[in-house]
Amino acid sequence: MSKEITSRATDYSQWYNDLILKGGLADYSAVRGCMVIKPYGFALWENMRDQLDRMFKETGHVNAYFPLFVPRTFLEKEEGHAEGFAKECAVVTHYRLKANPNKKGELMVDPDSKLEEELIIRPTSETIIWNAYRDWIQSYRDLPLLINQWANVVRWEMRTRLFLRTTEFLWQEGHTAHATAEEAVVETRKMLDVYADFVEEWMALPVIKGVKTANERFAGAVDTYCIEALMQDGKALQAGTSHFLGQNFSKAFDVKFLSKENKLEHVWATSWGTSTRLIGALVMAHSDDQGLVLPPKIAPLQVVIVPIYKGDEQKAVIDTKVSEIIKELKSLNIRVKYDDSDNTRPGWKFAEHELKGVPVRIAIGARDLQNNVVEIARRDTKEKMSVSMDGLSFFVKTLLDEIQLHLVERARAYRDAHITEVNSWEEFKKVLDEKGGFISAHWDGTGETEEKIKEETKATIRCIPLDNPQKDGVCIYSGKPSKERVLFAVAY
């Protein structure tokens, strides 16, 4: 496969696909709308998953696993939830195939295997989980119930894109139960903060925390909180959501508890999730026309060492020194690879590891050994430097921290430069067309105006920022009074 990458300026969408495919993150599959996550991409997901899992457990959550299949009647119990997901459901109606008597080698559905009740392949797990919670929760002593699951889900998408929107994807979904509304809201906000901390500190991607409008709310939620990030093409991407579900699901599934006051009450609920779409966000936020740019904290490989030599004798001497360097780096928990394969030249290796976004590349040759130095190249700035082998491991560790910080600062500078305040409809359309990014504008608070803006410009209200200043103004579209600005953007 050619490693040539389409530039961002030429075709941003193709650039993104090139990086995913040629960077070895994922591939298309034989199943329409589904992807194969390749080992390099899965290693990236594992690093993200493992850190998030640690953060969940630090906040008192435990993992469990619930069935892939959801009875259709479960989905129908919460009206808003059912309506919101109905068009995306994959439905299992039969449980057996048999040989087609009219065509040798072909299988057909056995009509005698029709299920008594159709099963939905989970688009999300609220219903199957709350059915279980009915048996698990009896009194206030059983609360709070703080459970997360790592799973796959299926949402039948018409238009798919690797990582960003696929029919099947990997994610985690937290589902918690509480004695009071106040406790549930605290949980909802707490998990939003966990997501924001992870995305900013580990993915080096700054986000805006906010609450969704009624039109953009999760189906079945009372309130949906979100973190919104900005990609290099000026479009927004929702990087995580946390939902206050009120008592909607506990009432639908009759989940009650005996309170301290000896009263039977419905519990209060939350759910929250983020998915492999974060990998798409990572690619679009940091990468360049030469390939992936990965933050050191979650990069599958943080350092690659490439030897430059002539003959086996030079190679043996370099191998000995590299073995010492690798031991020192690993003692500092740095993920390192020695690329000493003899079937490609150093220049090819340099380009390959640049394409894959390895944060730090070390080149070492026979002359370098004599001078007690190595050449280091950092992926984010492409800067090269000659560094002494003395204290090399600590230099590399410090450099990785510098790269992580530089990436988040660069992304934040871009994001902040693309938040534009507008005060008229004409100004709104002009900024959206010429600059993109987040647009801060007054909105009259109605779903009708929100939908008309979306129809005419494809821009949606990404969020009402948390702790948003209340300031009277005039809606840019309707001219009606407004009490605050909200953030609009075209989004993935």
Q: How far is the C-alpha of 274 from the C-alpha of 242, rounded, in Å?
A: 9
Across 380-401, average pLDDT: 98
Q: How far is the C-alpha of 367 from the C-alpha of 225, rounded, in Å?
A: 57
Is the backbone of residue 311 left (phi > 0), alpha (psi -120 to 50) or beta?
Answer: left
- Give the CA distances from residue 108 to residues 21, 32, 91, 113, 162, in Å, rounded to whole numbers and listed in that order: 35, 20, 17, 11, 31
Q: Say whether 365 sits in a helix, a strand or coil.
A: strand
pLDDT value for 232: 97
The enclosing H or E element of 100 equals none
Q: How far is the C-alpha of 82 from the C-alpha of 89, rounded, in Å?
A: 10
**pLDDT band per the 50, 70, 90 thresholds, residue 1:** very low
pLDDT value for 188: 98
Q: Does the pLDDT of residue 30 top 70, yes or no?
A: yes
Domains along the sequence of the chain with CATH = 12-286 (3.30.930.10), 303-399 (3.40.50.800), 419-489 (3.30.110.30)
> pLDDT exceeding 70 applies to what percent of the chain?
99
Across 217-224, average pLDDT: 94
Across 152-156, average pLDDT: 96
pLDDT value for 157: 86
Q: Does the pLDDT of residue 129 top 80, yes or no?
A: yes
Across 279-293, average pLDDT: 98
Contact 73, 112 (CB under 8 A): no
CA angle 281, 287, 288 (to 5 degrees): 145
pLDDT value for 326: 98
Contact 392, 374 (CB under 8 A): yes
Q: Does the pLDDT of residue 82 top 90, yes or no?
A: no
Across 393-412, average pLDDT: 98
> pLDDT exceeding 90 applies to what percent of the chain?
96
Q: How far is the C-alpha of 287 from the C-alpha of 19, rounded, in Å?
A: 9
The pLDDT mean for the chain works out to 97
Q: How far is the C-alpha of 248 from the C-alpha of 241, rounded, in Å?
A: 18
Listed range (208-212, 287-291, 341-345, 362-366) with the worst mean pLDDT: 341-345
Q: Does the pLDDT of residue 280 top 60, yes or no?
A: yes
